[in-house]
Amino acid sequence: MTHKKNKAGFTLAELLLTVAILIILFGLGFVAVTAYIRDLRLNEMDWTAKEIFIAAQNQLSKAKENGTLAEYNALPNDKKDTLANGRCYVVYKGTSLDSNPAWTMLMPFGAIDETVRLGGSYIIEFDPKAATVTQTYYSDNYPFGDYNTDLQAGISDRGERKHYDGNHIIGWYAGDAESLPYDEVKDTPVLVVENAAQLIAQVNGLTESDRKVTLCVKGLTSEATTTIVLTKDALNNWKYILDDITTGSDHFVQKVVSKSGTAFIPGEDIELFVTVMTSKASTLSNVKESNHVVTNSLFASSEESSGAVTAHIANFRHLENLDSNISNIKYAPADGGINLTKAEQVEDLKWSEFKIGNTYYPIKPYTGTAGGMFNDMPNYYPVSNLPASFTYEGNNRYIDGVTIDVSDTLFTPNAGLFGTVSGALTVKDLELRNFNINLNQNFSAANAGALVGSSSGALTITNVIAYNTLPQKTAAALAAEAQLEIRAGNCAGGLVGNASSATITGSAAAVYVRGRTAAGGLIGNLGGGTVRNSYVGGHTTDGEFVFPPNTGAADGLPGRPNVWATSVDGHAGGFAGTAGTVSFTNCYTTASAYVQSSAQATGGTANLFIGTSEDIPAGSYAAGWTYKNGKIVYPDLWMKDFVDNTQMLLQPSEYNYDPFWDNDYYPYRLVQTTDDVWFLKTHVGDW
C-alpha cells in the first residue's frame, strides 16, 4: 500500500493557533518577569529604608551623647514636626533641609552615602524622648508628600508597597532599635592629608576589624559633597588618592565626583573628615568622627582677595595643575571655575624629587593620554592653557632639573616651564636651574626656552635667570653640565624661544642654546618690546671659546658654541637670534654665536648681539665671539669702554663654569640696577 506525503504544510488555522499559544505564554512570562523585577526593586528599597533607619539611629544615639538631642527637645513645637503620640518625623523630598533641625541631627553629612542622603525621598519617624527611631520609608521614584495616617500606621503589606499611590514602589522598615545587635567602635580615627606629588587622605589609629570607613569631602566654594567608602590597600592602610597627575584616571576631577547634584570645582579648597562605624549588616554602632582637614584640591593652598584667587605652588603637581589639560581647571566662575589670576611659588622645586615612592612617572592629562608627546617618558609637561591674564610670582625661589627630552618624536607643542602662552603672562623673581629641553630638530614648528616656549600675548619678565649649577668642577661634572641645552626645531632662547612682544627687565641666561631658525642667548625671536638691564653669560674651556671643526664634533663639548643656529638660513646671536622693533637698554652678552660657513652662504647669519645685525645697541656690549666667512670674529676695541676696574675690589667670580676663571674677576661693566637681586650684582657664566 502506498502512503502519500502531505506536501501542503500547516493550515492557516494551525498557524493562528500556534501564534495565539505563543502570545499567551509570552504574556504570562512577561507578567511574571515584571512581577519579579518589582519584587527585586521592593527588596532594594526596603534595604535602603533599613540603612536609613540604622544610620539615623546611630546619629540619634550620638546626638543624645553630645547634647544635640536635648537642644532639639527644648525647641518650641513650631520648630518641630510632631505627631499626636509625641513622636517626631522629617520628610526629605530631594531638596536640602539644612534649616530643619531634625534632618541635620539625623542625617548630617557623613551619616550615610550621599546618593542616599541627598537622592530619592524618605521619611524618618523617631521618638525624641526615648532617643529611638521607630520607622523609615524610602523611594527613588515617589516623592513623599505629607506624612499621612496610612504611612504613620506602617505599611507592612508588600503588595501595597509595590503599588503604592498608583504604581509606585516604596521601601519600609520598622523595628525596635534595642532588638538590633550593637557593635561599639572604640578606635578614634586620625585623618592625615598629604598634599605633595599626590593628594592623599590616609586614616590612622584603626586597629579593630569589621569597620566601615567613609571619607567625606565637601567643596568649600561649590558646596558639593561626596562620600567615599575606603578599602585597605596592599600595605593594609586606609588610604585614598584624591589627585595624581601621573595616571590618566586618578586626577581630582575623576576621583572626587559629587553626589549632591552640584559639581566640585577643580582648584577649590575642600574639607575632609572620616567617619567610622561597624560594617556588620543590620547592626547598630556608635559613629566615630575624625579630625577635619582643609586643603586645596589642586594646589598647596589658595587665597582669595577681591574675587581674585592666588594658587600656592609647593610641588610640581601644583605647578602642572595650572594647565587645564592636566587638571580640567576652568578659569571663569561663570563656567563653573575659579577666578585664578596668580600663582605664588612657596617652595623650591626639584624635578629629581618629583616621584611616587622611588619611581618617576610621566605626566598625563586628565583625559588619560599623554597626547603622543612623551612616549611615556618621565618628562615635565610644559604648562599651557593659562587664564587670559596670569602672573607667576617666584618669590626668589628656584625650579631645578626640568627635563623635556623628546628628540625622537615630533613634539608639536612649544616647550619651556610654560609651553604655549596666548594671553598676558607676567613672571618675576624666579631662578631656573639645570633645564634640559631637547626637541626634534627636524620639526620646524616647535620653539623652546627655559621659561617660555612661545608667547603670542603680552609677556612680562622681571628678575628671572636660567643657569646651570656646578657644586664641584670635576671633569665629570663639567661634562654633565655641557649636556644641558635648550634645543628646538624653530626658535630657541635661554629664557624665551619665541615671543611676539615682551618686556624683559633685570633678567639673565647662561645656558647652551641651539635652534634651527633662530637662536639667541636670552631670546630666540622677539617681534617687539623692550629689554633692559639684562645679560647673557657664556661658556668657555680653559678660558677660550671652542671652535667646532664640524657640527658633530662639537656636540656635548664644554665651551662649544654657546648659541648655535643649525638651519641653512638660521640666525644666531649672543643675545637674540632675531628681533623686530625692540629697544635694548643696558644689556650685554659674553656668549659665542655660531652658524656654519655653508649656512652663511645661503642666508644664515651669526652676530655678537643680534643674529641678523652686526650693530650693537647703544649702551650695550658683547664680549663673546662669532664665526663669519671662515674666521672667528671678536669684539672691536670699543670693549675698552666697558671695562670696569672697580670689579677688582670684588671677590673672584663665584658663578663661572670654566675653572680657568675661578680666581679672576669679571672685567666689564655689570648690569646696573637698584634691585637687590644677586645675579644682577655679579656675572653668571664665563667670558
Q: Tell me the per-residue pLDDT of 190-201, one tens digit each, with 9 for 90 and over.
A: 999 999 999 999
Instruction: Give the per-residue pLDDT at 6.
Output: 52
Instruction: Give the per-residue pLDDT at 407.
Output: 64
If pLDDT is split at 50, 70 and 90, which confidence band does 376 have? low
Given a cut of 70, whether residue 91 has pLDDT beyond it is: yes
Instruction: Give the per-residue pLDDT at 595.
Output: 85
Per-residue exposure over 428-453, b if at least 16 CB sit within 10 Å of its own CB, e if not = bbbbbbbbbbbbbbebeebbbbbbbb
pLDDT per position as a tens digit, 106-116: 999 999 999 99
Instruction: Give the per-residue pLDDT at 601.
Output: 57
Given a cut of 60, whether residue 356 has pLDDT beyond it is: yes
If pLDDT is split at 50, 70 and 90, which confidence band does 371 have? very low
Q: Do residue 214 and residue 355 come from a single domain?
A: yes
Q: Do residue 507 and residue 553 come from a single domain?
A: yes
Range of the structural domain that residue 352 is part of: 187-381
If pLDDT is split at 50, 70 and 90, which confidence band does 179 have? confident
Instruction: Give the per-residue pLDDT at 303.
Output: 95
Mean pLDDT check: name the lowest of 200-204, 501-505, 656-660, 664-668.
664-668
Question: What DSSP element (H or E) covers 179?
Answer: none
Question: What DSSP element (H or E) covers 13?
Answer: helix 12-66
Count of CB atoms situated within 10 Å of the CB of 332:
12
Cα separation of 296 and 325, whole Å? 18
Q: How many domains does the chain have?
A: 3
If pLDDT is split at 50, 70 and 90, which confidence band does 30 have? low
Cα separation of 495 and 477, whole Å? 23
Residue 87 lies in a domain: yes
Q: Do residue 343 and residue 431 come from a single domain?
A: no
If pLDDT is split at 50, 70 and 90, which confidence band does 569 have? confident
Instruction: Give the per-residue pLDDT at 370.
Output: 45
Domain boundary among the residues 381, 415, 450 is at: 381
Q: Do residue 200 and residue 349 come from a single domain?
A: yes
Average pLDDT, the chain: 88
**At 290, which CATH number?**
2.60.40.10
Given a cut of 90, whether residue 229 has pLDDT beyond it is: yes
Instruction: Give the per-residue pLDDT at 363.
Output: 86
Q: Do residue 97 and residue 194 come from a single domain?
A: no
Amino acid in the structure at residue 307: G
pLDDT per position as a tens digit, 32-65: 666 778 889 999 999 999 999 999 999 999 999 9
Average pLDDT over residues 391-406: 94
**At 580, which CATH number?**
2.160.20
Q: What is the 3-state secondary structure (H, E, C) of 117-166?
A: HCCCEEEEEEECCCCEEEEEEEECCCCCCCCCHHHHHCCCCHHHHHCECC
Q: Are 475 and 501 in contact (CB under 8 A)?
A: no
If pLDDT is split at 50, 70 and 90, which confidence band does 28 have? low
Domain boundary among the residues 151, 178, 205 is at: 178
Instruction: Determine whether 176 is exposed, middle or buried from the number of CB atoms within 10 Å of its CB (0-12, 13-18, 19+).
Output: exposed
Q: Do residue 567 and residue 500 come from a single domain?
A: yes
Instruction: Give the per-residue pLDDT at 27.
Output: 67
Amino acid in the structure at residue 253: V
Q: Do residue 281 and residue 311 come from a single domain?
A: yes
* Cell, residue 424: 598676558
Domain boundary among the residues 178, 197, 217 is at: 178
Q: Do residue 85 and residue 191 come from a single domain?
A: no
Q: Do residue 39 and residue 90 come from a single domain?
A: yes
Instruction: Give the per-residue pLDDT at 92.
Output: 95
* Angle (CA) 442 537 463, round 5°: 95
Instruction: Give the per-residue pLDDT at 619.
Output: 87
Given a cut of 60, whether residue 531 has pLDDT beyond it is: yes
Cα separation of 23 and 486, whole Å? 77
Count of CB atoms situated within 10 Å of the CB of 163:
12
